[in-house]
Chain A
Amino acid sequence: ELKVEQNPLFLSMQEGKNYTIYCNYSTTSDRLYWYRQDPGKSLESLFVLLSNGAVKQEGRLMASLDTKARLSTLHITAAVHDLSATYFCAVDLNQFYFGTGTSLTVIP
């Protein structure tokens, strides 16, 4: 079974700071997705990464995929309060395997 680990599990950061969330997975896959979930809400798609070296950026978020290292990163630049949410990575290996999520709190 594919294992997907995210770290950190909890992240508290000040507005304006940068930080990176890591997603490691145990079996080779070249398809990885990032989702955002607000408390009590559903999942919103952020990024689709479909090949080694893929990099996608949207606003203050940038995601990358290194399939050889089995690692994806979600980099946050100059955090703002609106980014507070839980972020999940999901690896596609015949089915989606989700990480445990990273709960991000941005403090003013």
Chain B
Amino acid sequence: DGGITQSPKYLFRKEGQNVTLSCEQNLNHDAMYWYRQDPGQGLRLIYYSQIVNDFQKGDIAEGYSVSREKKESFPLTVTSAQKNPTAFYLCASSRRRGYEQYFGPGTRLTVT
């Protein structure tokens, strides 16, 4: 079955710690994306990658970092510089940029 997996589903961290969220896809898609969703709001783009070893900042990249060493994987690190990291994080992929995006199940991060 082709799809997007994210792990873990729930993540709890103490303030000041970096945390890495996993995103893997087996759809052979070139483009991958990270979004953040806060309660009662739409999705906001954090980072995207169109190809391996290349990525671009989205609208709210401050306090986050990513890597794209493999086509299938696009991990997101939430650093201690992110002032309000508690949110629902969604990873997506598309055949190429500008095509329909498919979403993973999400990771709910709580930082206390």
Residues of A within 8 A of B33 (CB): 96
Query: Given that A42-B103, A42-B106, A43-B103 are contacting pairs, would A92 and B41 also be in contact in the complex, using a CB cutoff of 8 Å?
Result: no
* Complex contact B106–A41 (CB within 8 A): yes
User: In the bound complex, do residue A48 and residue B100 qualify as a contact, i.e. CB atoms below 8 Å apart?
Assistant: yes
Question: B42-50, B63-71, B76-84: which lies at the A interface?
Answer: B42-50
What's the tally of chain B residues with a CB closer than 8 Å to chain A? Answer: 22
Contact with A along B92-112 (1 / 0, CB 8 A): 100001101111111010000
Q: How large is the interface on A (under 10, 10 to 19, 20 to 34, 35 or more residues)?
A: 20 to 34
B58 within 8 A of A: yes
Contact with B along A50-84 (1 / 0, CB 8 A): 00000000000000000000000000000000000
